[in-house]
Structure 1
Amino acid sequence: MKYFETIHEKNSARLTALIAIILLVLLFVVGTTYMDPPEEYGVAVNFGTTDFGKGNVQPKKPVKSEPKEIDKPPQPEVSKAEPTASSETKEEVLTEDNSEAIAIKKQKEAEAKAKAIADAKAKAEADRIAKEKREQEEKKKKLDALIGGVSKSEGTETGSEGNDNKAGDKGQLDGNPYAPSYFGDKGSGTGGVGYGLGGRGKASFKKNIPDCQEEGRVVVEIHVNRSGNVIKAIPGKKGTTGGSCLFEAAKKTALSHKWPADSKAPVKQIGWVEVNFSLGQ
């Protein structure tokens, strides 16, 4: 196997080998110079042990020199101050037995703390009592407003009667306690029949005889229209003392009532009719 096939490759190999041999010879012949010891560069400094000197004789060892005086900074003078009267007094106080004074101070602090706590408790209790009192007054006012001023009435009886949502005894002082109507005049009638319908004047009626032999009083609630006719009658209201067998006759008697017409009257005005029955009618 040939490495160099052409003339040019052969010439190039010869030339390369020749250059390599020449360089190798130059390295061994010329080379680099080396100094032992190597050269130093810079300024040479003379041997010495001080910053000053005189003469031409160079000592080989450090010379003996006089001791140098080192300037010390001036020290402040320390003067002993004589104890003053205040310091003597303080010293006397400190030398006294302070246990009693400390105990008195602690006692005063404890008393002040206890007094502050007591004052705070008293204030809190007073605030609580005042708050409860205000709440009771508010409740009383609300209750009074709810029952319509009953708490301010001057009566001695207790109880509540009426058709409203507030407690009290609805009606008039000169009214009939058995009447179902809470407004208008007292009213009256003949033949054992009484009635109450405020502002409507006198009424005409026809009394009906019951089928049973019983006596008593029947109170009938009546509803009257503007024409003066009774459009509804409910017997057996408060104040009734007769039996139920009298109710039908009392109802018919109430329905027979006729009042004068009034266009300004309520559409449905409520009143009452009281029918008394006795044996032998």
Structure 2
Amino acid sequence: MANHIPELVLNDGTKVPAIGFGTAWIKGTKGVQHLKTALDLGYRLIDSAFNYENEGVVGEAVRRGGVPRDQLFITSKLPGRHHKYDEAIETVQESLYRAGLDYYDLYLIHWPNPKVDLYVEAWQALIEARKQGLIRSIGVSNFLPEHLDRLIQETGVTPSMNQIELHPYYNQAEQRAYHQQHGIITESWSPLGRGTELLKNEQLAAIAAAHSKSVSQIVLRWHVQLGAVPIPRSASAEHQRENLDIFSFSLSEEEMKVISGIKTTGPLWDQDPAVYEEF
């Protein structure tokens, strides 16, 4: 593990880096190069998904990166169309074949797809896949408290992580509080508020100036001090390096309150987990 990146301990004892690298839309030879650069800079948590269609890119970058496999934390996710038990097991296997890996450190159910209502069955499949050694830790993504309650009540197994949209324009305070009460680590997708004016926010700019840091670094540091694991994505080596350099300073309690108090505008995309159905 890169020495300068702290680790969090999941509820099953697995350790996870405090920041990761997102790979949505990163594909092909260029994608391998971007990931290789990220690994060279010190990223050890790599987030992928079956529906990103880039698990092969992740596996190739791992092979070219020269970082021992046991120092990496590789994640992928189960798509909505494969929530049936047998299909879910086969999809985990296919994910591994695509990447050329023997196991995933973390595998998540990408969306609950509540209308189909097979997410408990999918969760039971992930429990079995973990028993088979295909996955070290299991979790979910975009699950609301009502979905998490069902998983816990019907299987007795609490997810180790829930990956949710989280940024200062959508700080998800109630969801994060639920996670904390149940020992679930929060992971942040779109941590920099992609597609918004967040990085031009005057309050954030003032805090950044006070620390001689960029606004991106301030926002990512906010995530870390919330206890969340941000997974920013960037093709730029300069931005990759900058995003990783957030452990040499701290935000004050007042600065954290200012950032958490920025007016919430809600989710960036029309993807309400209560009704959204992923293919």
Question: Higher Cα Rg: structure 1 or 2?
Answer: 1
Structure with the higher fraction of residues in helix conformation? 2
Q: Tell me, yes or no, whether TM beats 0.5.
A: no
Which of the pair has the greater relative contact order for Cα pairs under 8 Å at 6+ separation?
2
Bin of the TM-score, shorter chain as denominator length: under 0.3
